[in-house]
Copies of this chain bind each other. A is one copy, B any other.
Amino acid sequence: MDLFGLLHLDELSHGLANLSMFPFFDMAHYIVSILALREQPGALEVSRVSPLACWFSSMLFCFGGAVLSAVMLAEPAVAPLSNSTGVLLASITWYLVFYCPMDLVYSCAALLPLRLVLSGMKEVTRTWKVLGGVAQAHGKYKDSLLVMIAIGWAKGAGGGLISNFEQLVRGVWKPETNELLKMSYPTKITLIGAVLFALQQTHYLPLKTHHLMLVYTAFTVVNKSRMMLTGSSASPFTVVELAIYKTLFAGHSPYAALTGEVQKARLDQGAANGSTAAAGSRGLGENGATGKNTPVSPVKAQRGSLKAKKESENGDTTNCKKIN
């Protein structure tokens, strides 16, 4: 692309592409991931009751992508454990975040300026992980775009995609929600990245790898910083998503009325996410507010509004109908 030469970005992109993730960026990834785990409801209690379950959960947050992609490619799921330095760094981080005297490490890392820098660095590692996954799949399945996207996505957003099973380690089970039913921002941006890198690797996208790395990294870092600073998660894709949704999936079906409601719910949901995502959680943290996007039948939805006030005092997903 001449544009890159024109803007003198060629050297910058080469510099970025040669950047080593180890140890600083990896460290930032571990810190931000384990902070996100600590902010899950109930995680602190688990850390006191069973340090081992807490440690295992932390490892799934840090290496979930590696584990998931290994399972998908029939490679040993324990392989991430053989990366001794990585596991050691992640374990030290886990220990300091959860058990540091006076809670010093958590208090410091949770300060907005530091967290902003760490989150930005974590976004950089996403590019490397997605590209690594796509390249690995490209080596095994030459011409299968779908496999490349799947592995790139799994490697970049594994922690989120296996969140149901990560929660199970901590004794939490929320079957009514998962990252496929309601994608969080990090999962979405990783999917887009996986598609872009897969297209680039198969030469459908006429860009050089390091150029795409620069563009994608810049986008994710800037967007993440904006979201954390403004506290609004007005996702840059909402408009595109809705356009695609209306064109492809709304149709003239007998469920058009329902579809309209769903779209409205999605918009509401998008707005609601704004405040929660700003808390800096990796998207896993949004599970707390999933009552809204659980698939409900239209009939139930109508009755639901009548019962909403009563049920709001209940606060969990079991339907305990009180008939006094």
Q: Which A positions have Cβ atoms within 8 angstroms of B?
A: 41-42, 44-53, 56, 70-78, 81-82, 84, 87, 95, 99-103, 137, 140-141, 143-147, 150-151, 164, 168-173, 175-178, 180-183, 245, 248-249, 251-255, 258-259, 262, 266, 293-298, 310, 313-316, 318-324
Contact status A295-B170, CB under 8 Å: yes
The smallest beta-carbon distance between A235 and chain B, in angstroms, is 16
Known: A50-B181, A99-B253, A171-B294. 19 other contacts (CB 8 A): A41-B297, A45-B296, A46-B295, A48-B259, A49-B262, A51-B245, A51-B248, A52-B183, A70-B74, A72-B76, A78-B147, A81-B144, A82-B141, A84-B144, A84-B145, A99-B251, A169-B180, A170-B181, A320-B322
Contact status B175-A172, CB under 8 Å: yes
Can you spell out 9 A-B residue pairs with CB atoms less than 8 angstroms apart? A45-B296, A49-B182, A50-B182, A52-B180, A72-B76, A99-B248, A100-B251, A169-B178, A171-B178
Contact of A48 with B170 at beta-carbon distance under 8 Å, contacts A74-B77, A77-B74 already known: no
* Chain B CB within 10 A, most for which of A46, A137, A181: A181
Contact of A53 with B251 at beta-carbon distance under 8 Å, contacts A82-B144, A144-B81 already known: no
Contact status B146-A81, CB under 8 Å: yes
Say how many copies of this protein the assembly contains: 3
Give the complex CA separation of A144 and B47 in angstroms: 26
Closest residue of chain B to A296, judged by CB? B45
The smallest beta-carbon distance between A95 and chain B, in angstroms, is 8
Contact status B168-A178, CB under 8 Å: yes
The smallest beta-carbon distance between A237 and chain B, in angstroms, is 14
A84: chain B residues within 8 A (beta carbon): 143-146
Give the complex CA separation of A66 and B75 in angstroms: 17
Contact status B316-A318, CB under 8 Å: yes
Contact status B71-A77, CB under 8 Å: yes
Contact status A49-B249, CB under 8 Å: no
A181: chain B residues within 8 A (beta carbon): 46, 49-50, 53, 169-171
A176: chain B residues within 8 A (beta carbon): 171, 173
